[in-house]
Structure 1
Amino acid sequence: MGKPDAEGHDLPDLPPEWGRVVVPDDASALAAEAAQIRRELRRAAGRPGGHRALALPLFVLLVALLTTLGGVLAVTWPRANRGNDRPTPAPYAPPATLAGRSLPALDLVDAGQSPVPLRGLLPAMIILVDGCPCQDRVAEAVAAAPGGVAVVTVAGGRTVAARPPAEPAVRALADPAGGLRSFLGEPARPGTATALLVDRAGVVTRVLPELGPADAYREDLTALAR
């Protein structure tokens, strides 16, 4: 039975009397042996019986050449399941739809670490800023929010995010337990704020995986005031 190569593929055994056979990485390393064979063949052509005298050593060298080529091909042939292949990173998937689900009864904290029931602020646009403060986007949301609809920013940990300049209407909270992010079902992404629109009954009406310009959600925001 043959001996396995570096990747576990069997190569044929050679007769033990041939000694140790070194398989080069590049088949061109056998060019000198091939040239020697051609010279010997030319000499043998001029001698009676020369071909028979060279038959065995030429056969041995031919087998060695074929074995070498087979080994090189076995090592270099591309395979689909090489162990060092890296999986292709999965693209970001937006949160599964939460529309129609009830917002859980979460207690967040304010700047003074006092508990604040999140459902007590509804209807609201809740903006998770644990991946990005995104103050410009928050300011746009405040400007677009109709009367009676709160804009709430939620940071991770216990540190409350700073309000945008001249936007005292923003209710800034923190989520030490990470309950809101867990409800969303997606980790924070650097440079991205995520928003949930929740009506006065506590039902999520829309999820914005990446908060953009207010025109993209203005109508949904206005509907929360009804």
Structure 2
Amino acid sequence: MAGASNSGGWSPDDLPDLPEEWGVIVIPDDLSELSDEVDAVRAELRLADPPTGWQRFTGRPAVRRFRRFAVTTLRAPVLIITLAVVVTVASLFASAWPGPPRQPATQRTASTTPEVVTTLPALELVAADGQTVPLRGRLPAVILLIDGCACTALISDTIDAVGPEIAVITVSAATASAASAATPPTGATPPANGKTVRMLNDPTGSLRTHLRLGAPDSTAAAVLVDRGSQIVRRVPRTVSVDDFRADLARL
């Protein structure tokens, strides 16, 4: 066994440990003892096929460098093309995939609740003398639509309940000739206790239509309008001033 130290000054203890799976390695002093192992290795090399011309060509250093350069150069374009194909396929699947069902849009029909009118229409009604009178000519006012209603008590109580600055206007579909006996030529009754009371006629029922009130019956309809023509309160059916007495203060 070769021993101690060499001329470099290091000893076998300076060498790293060998892997355990290699087992015990014995280095003979006479290398001729390894002739059997040398003959076995040579025999294995003789069994291998000699390299072909193509293998010798591709094994040259220049060819190996070119192959590495080509692989590096082509890697980025191939990656970009692959990503583009994946994104395109994903987009096609997303567009073809059925989404959640959409709720049908609500369509407005004739049965939809009509819009509430908030402003008194600028109508001209007929006074007892046959002259046209602007409905907005005297505001604020309490307008009573009295077709088909025995509303003498309602009209009287309303006149008593309003202040002197609030007019009371009765509207009916009676003709001007039918109302002329009960109304002065100006279309305005004498002030009751300093209050203005007017009786107007609406033969075509245009006011009731504009306000979207129901057909006349045994009750009256009351509409409270402030000075700016805004409807403060609408009572489609009433026989008593108590139904809107609290709203008179808002006029």
Give TM-score scaled by structure 1 length: 0.50
**2:212 maps to amino acid:** G
What SS does the aligned partner of 1:173 have?
Answer: strand
| Gap change, CA 1:131 and 1:117, over 3 Å in 2 | same
1:118-162 deviation line (CA, Å, top 9, x unaligned): 011111000001121411011111100112100000011424655
Partner of residue 83, structure 1: none
Q: CA deviation at 1:192?
A: 0.9
Whether the aligned pair in 2 keeps the contact of 1:128 and 1:193 (CA below 8 Å) is yes
**1:102 maps to amino acid:** T
| Gap change, CA 1:189 and 1:222, over 3 Å in 2 | same
In the TM superposition, 1:163-202 aligns within 5 A as 168=192, 169-202=196-229
Counterparts of 2:240 and 2:222, CA distance in 1: 12
What SS does the aligned partner of 2:121 have?
Answer: coil
Whether the aligned pair in 2 keeps the contact of 1:97 and 1:207 (CA below 8 Å) is no
| Gap change, CA 1:140 and 1:114, over 3 Å in 2 | same
**2:168 maps to amino acid:** V
Counterparts of 1:149 and 1:122, CA distance in 2: 7
Counterparts of 1:142 and 1:96, CA distance in 2: 32
Counterparts of 1:109 and 1:143, CA distance in 2: 25
Q: CA deviation at 1:188?
A: 3.0
Q: CA deviation at 1:210?
A: 1.6
Equivalent of residue 109 in structure 1, options 99, 104, 126: 126
| Gap change, CA 1:113 and 1:103, over 3 Å in 2 | same
Counterparts of 1:217 and 1:96, CA distance in 2: 23
Counterparts of 1:189 and 1:130, CA distance in 2: 6
Partner of residue 247, structure 2: 220
User: What is the total number of aligned residue pairs between the two structures?
Assistant: 128
**1:211 maps to amino acid:** T
Counterparts of 1:167 and 1:188, CA distance in 2: 31
Whether the aligned pair in 2 keeps the contact of 1:157 and 1:178 (CA below 8 Å) is no
1:75-126 deviation line (CA, Å, top 9, x unaligned): xxxxxxxxxxxxxxxxxxxx97846x11110000111011100011111000
Which structure 1 residue ranges, 5 or more long, are not aligned? 1-94
1:185-222 deviation line (CA, Å, top 9, x unaligned): 23433211111001010011111112233233122112
What SS does the aligned partner of 2:157 have?
Answer: helix
Identity %: 41
Partner of residue 125, structure 1: 142
**1:118 maps to amino acid:** L
In the TM superposition, 1:1-226 aligns within 5 A as 98=116, 101-159=118-176, 162=182, 168=192, 169-224=196-251
Whether the aligned pair in 1 keeps the contact of 2:172 and 2:200 (CA below 8 Å) is yes
Whether the aligned pair in 2 keeps the contact of 1:197 and 1:205 (CA below 8 Å) is yes
Between structure 1 and structure 2, the one with the greater Rg is 2
Counterparts of 2:175 and 2:149, CA distance in 1: 16
What SS does the aligned partner of 1:209 have?
Answer: strand
Counterparts of 1:219 and 1:96, CA distance in 2: 27
**1:104 maps to amino acid:** P
Which structure 2 residue ranges, 5 or more long, are not aligned? 1-112, 184-188
What SS does the aligned partner of 2:238 have?
Answer: coil
Report runs of 4+ in structure 1 exceeding 6 Å deviation.
none
